[in-house]
Amino acid sequence: MNRSTPPETLYAAPSALVQGRFIDDALIAVDDDGDIVSVGRGAAPPDAIRLKGVVVPGMPDLHSHAFQRAMAGLAETASPAGENFWSWRDVMYRFLGRLSPEDVQAIAAQLYVELLRQGFTAIAEFHYVHNDYSGGAYADPAEMSHRIVGAARTSGIGLTLLPVLYQASGFGGAPAMDGQKRFLKTTDDFIALVETLRRTYRDDPRIKIGVAPHSLRAVAPEALLDCVEAITVMDQDAPIHIHVAEQDREVKDCLAWSGERPVEWLLNHAPIDRRWCLVHSTQTTGDEIARLAKSGAVAGLCPSTEANLGDGVFPLSSYLKHRGRFGIGTDSNVGTCPADELRWLEYVQRLFAKQRNISEANDGAHTGAGLYRRALAGGAQACGRKIGEIAPGYRADLVVLDPEHPALIGRRHESMIDSWIFSGSETPVRDVMVGGNWVVKDRRHVAQDDVLKDYRRCIARLTND
Ligand SMILES: [Zn+2]
């Protein structure tokens, strides 16, 4: 061995999804830093570690509010007035009002373990709970952000941390409400937080820092543009995420404020490009969809949450005709599985269009495999990390699918992904590697017992309060 190169581990797989195509007899070399150094094919040499299934790149989850996982199911009661996104938000504000930093870390770690066991290997955490119960800063203003990093490190998931800028309760800078006091930061304090996080975690290849101006509802134009300029000076490739056009009322309020629709406003007034992820983009016109696709930004689609909240239907086929990029997010974390998110994405389109196989237009193209590839590429772009591909220079984020799982028996290549996504049964994910480390082995996460113990304690405390 050449002594100047770092030690490598060679993995052999019966088949692997490599740069968009399946190859058989795959050989994947991973260095001690957790990066893929070479990919080839051939008979496994004696020193290779043989993987027990088909290898695909781990899926990035491009949008999450981790703490909301612990309230899944707590907002599912009817009322005479009718329930909608805004009434759900009231329940969510009451729930988060009681969370300590320890609670946030315990819930996030439990969520991340669950995501990893289903095949998500990276997350973009849209993190907006910064302040203590009274709305004041913690002694360390980055306390809550460090808790998210702590949860990511315990679980081993790759993290794009997106501290959120939140300043207002409505378009044009309407004063924030009491329930929003834990989110608020001045623009200067926000930029200082981002600088601290970048400095603290700059040597960790598992972590990328970006920014998330929450929405046009929560951030007035001047602050939005200041935030974008500040992050561009720090890192011109840093991801910028924003919630946009999730609800009809949001569009109506934006029109009343500016005469423009939310996506239209962003395209007209902000430097939207490939760094951006426009989360939801549900309520959009044909013109907005064409322009969004052309911008190179990613549409952040969160199918299970959008269904849960009654948001509406993203115009996927029109967006794909314009070669728009998308990734998937678990958002409120009512779902934790990439296959579920992709199935929901396609099924909602089918119900709406009364047709099948909406997201692939070419004859014979595999819908599930096509969705998986596109979500890998869009998710990786939105996370701003070298992930989503099995190729030299990318992080070794690998998911091993069990070919003996009943849903996958007899399936090969693209058909295997189709069957994973459209079988809807227990996950066939067997083993998961993130950055060269095995975090799930034979369906068990290596820290799942300890993480669950902390989570139980957290829920007991919240229930007894
Ligand atoms: Zn969200």
425-463 per-position pLDDT tens digit = 789 999 999 999 999 999 999 999 999 999 999 999 988
Quote the ligand 1 centre to 244 CA distance (angstroms): 9
Quote the ligand 1 centre to 302 CA distance (angstroms): 8
CA 310/CA 8 separation, integer angstroms: 48
Quote the ligand 1 centre to 383 CA distance (angstroms): 15
- Whether 235 is catalytic: no
Those residues whose C-beta lies under 8 Å from the C-beta of residue 412, and which sit 6 or more positions away, are 15, 22
Question: pLDDT tens digits, residue range 361-420?
Answer: 888 899 999 999 999 999 999 999 999 999 999 999 999 999 999 999 999 999 999 999
* Predicted structure pTM score: 0.96
Answer yes or no: CATH 3.30.310.50 is held by domain 59-383. no
Q: What is the model's pLDDT at position 400?
A: 98
Sorted by where each begins, the domain ranges of the chain are: 8-57+390-448, 59-383
Catalytic residue among 280, 366, 405, 445: 280
Band of residue 77 on the pLDDT scale cut at 50, 70, 90: confident
Catalytic residue among 61, 253, 331, 454: 331
Quote the ligand 1 centre to 141 CA distance (angstroms): 22
Question: pLDDT tens digits, residue range 131-168?
Answer: 999 999 999 999 999 999 999 999 999 999 999 999 99
Q: What is the model's pLDDT at position 363?
A: 82
Quote the ligand 1 centre to 107 CA distance (angstroms): 17
- Whether 204 is catalytic: no
Quote the ligand 1 centre to 246 CA distance (angstroms): 9
Taking the CA atoms of 170, 173, 179 and 183 in sequence, report the sign of the dihedral they define. positive
Fold of 8-57+390-448: Urease, subunit C; domain 1 (2.30.40)
